[in-house]
């Protein structure tokens, strides 16, 4: 069994982006990070994105509206960033306060600056196999992990467990594309699937994205399968100072001996998401013709 090292692959990608950005003659790509309020997890995510931007040479612009901001006021901020030629990418950190319609906010971001890939148009473009699409960071990161660990999906059966809008559906559409590295036969399973283990056992490549701790057990996996574990679940652990540990959607101890390759949690898909955000920001810059 080979471990797919997300930390290493993300670091390689970040180093490549840094080299690419350092070669740019004029202004550097600019990423606007909008964080509403100060939810601790959001603070930590935005800080990470800001630091990685700096490491690559991407300019970041941090906008910190208060948690009391109205939806219209937030729209006004987004409209300004959409119109600003110095801004290449816009990320509005999720989750937003309950009085704000998150889907409406994501749709407000101009498609060509939507580096988070949550705008309806970018999702449609993924289905259309349009290369100007911005693919959302987790599914894009999964495809990058597969490619860089030497897994060609052509002729393979890819089983996606979970039909979420941010992982399951886009990664299924990507795996299905008529492109080098993709071209998989794709099955999508979910909570209403009958006889799930029989279906997951068909998988040459199994992508687990259902948010249920250690849900995928050895009896659900075909020997030799490539297993991508998207889950990041906290489970109680009295032996830890924090009182919890992180586990994936896959029972690593029993599944990893069966798998030909597998991602660990943490250190698998997780580190790829920020790296893909950076890649999308550089792509937005390049597609803009730097305006």
Cβ neighbours of residue 55 closer than 8 Å, sequence gap 6 or more: 14, 18
Nearer to its own copies, 123 or 247 (CB): 123
Catalytic residue among 88, 93, 249, 283: 93
Cα separation values, 209 from 113, 138, 281, Å: 26, 10, 25
Separation of alpha carbons 118 and 134, rounded Å? 8
Annotation marks residue 240 as catalytic: no
Annotation marks residue 128 as catalytic: no
Tell me how far, at minimum, the Cβ of 185 lies from its own copies, in Å. Answer: 4
Distance between alpha carbon 157 and the CA centroid of its chain, in Å?
22
Tell me how far, at minimum, the Cβ of 284 lies from its own copies, in Å. Answer: 17
Catalytic residue among 88, 114, 116, 204: 116
Q: How wide is the angle at C-alpha 184 spanned by C-alphas 180 and 188, nearest 5°?
A: 140
Annotation marks residue 93 as catalytic: yes
Binding-site residues for NADP(+), in ranges, read 162-164, 232
Task: By CB under 8 A, name the binding residues for its own copies.
Answer: 103, 119-125, 127-130, 154-157, 163, 165, 169-170, 172-173, 176, 178, 183-190, 192-194, 199
Nearer to its own copies, 52 or 151 (CB): 151
Mark out the alpha helices in 58-109 (DSSP H runs): 71-83, 102-108
Tokens of 176: 């299905």
Binding-site residues, in ranges, read 162-164, 232
Nearer to its own copies, 192 or 238 (CB): 192
SS3 for 67?
Answer: coil
Tokens of 142: 């999964």
Tell me how far, at minimum, the Cβ of 50 lies from its own copies, in Å. Answer: 29
Tell me how far, at minimum, the Cβ of 165 lies from its own copies, in Å. Answer: 6
Query: Which among 287, 269, 282 is positioned nearest to 3, based on CA atoms?
Result: 269
Distance between alpha carbon 67 and the CA centroid of its chain, in Å?
25
Question: What is the set of active-site residues?
Answer: 49, 93, 116
């Amino acid at each position: 069994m080979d471990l797919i090292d997300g930390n290493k692959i993300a670091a390689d990608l970040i180093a490549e982006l840094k080299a690419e950005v350092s070669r740019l003659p004029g202004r550097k790509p600019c990423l606007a990070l909008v964080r509403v309020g100060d939810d601790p997890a959001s603070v930590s995510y935005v800080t990470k994105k800001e630091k990685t931007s700096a490491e690559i040479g991407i300019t970041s612009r941090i906008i910190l509206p208060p948690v009391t901001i109205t939806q219209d006021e937030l729209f006004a901020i987004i409209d300004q960033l959409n119109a600003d030629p110095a801004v290449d990418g816009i990320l509005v950190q999720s989750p937003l306060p309950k009085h704000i319609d998150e889907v409406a906010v994501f749709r407000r971001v101009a498609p060509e600056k939507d580096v988070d890939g949550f705008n309806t148009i970018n999702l449609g473009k993924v289905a259309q196999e349009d290369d100007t699409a911005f693919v959302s960071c987790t599914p894009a990161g999964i495809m990058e992990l597969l490619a860089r660990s030497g897994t060609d999906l052509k002729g393979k059966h890819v089983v996606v467990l979970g039909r979420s809008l941010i992982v399951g559906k886009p990664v299924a559409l990507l795996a299905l594309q008529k492109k080098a590295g993709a071209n998989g036969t794709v099955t999508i399973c979910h909570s209403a699937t009958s006889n799930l283990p029989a279906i997951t056992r068909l998988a040459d490549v199994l992508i687990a994205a259902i948010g249920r701790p250690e849900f995928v057990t050895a009896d659900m996996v075909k020997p030799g399968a490539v297993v991508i574990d998207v889950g990041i679940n906290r489970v109680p652990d009295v032996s830890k100072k924090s009182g919890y540990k992180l586990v994936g959607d896959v029972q690593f101890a029993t599944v990893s001996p069966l798998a030909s390759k597998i991602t660990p949690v943490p250190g698998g898909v997780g580190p790829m998401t920020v790296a893909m955000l950076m890649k999308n920001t550089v792509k937005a810059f390049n597609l803009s013709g730097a305006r």
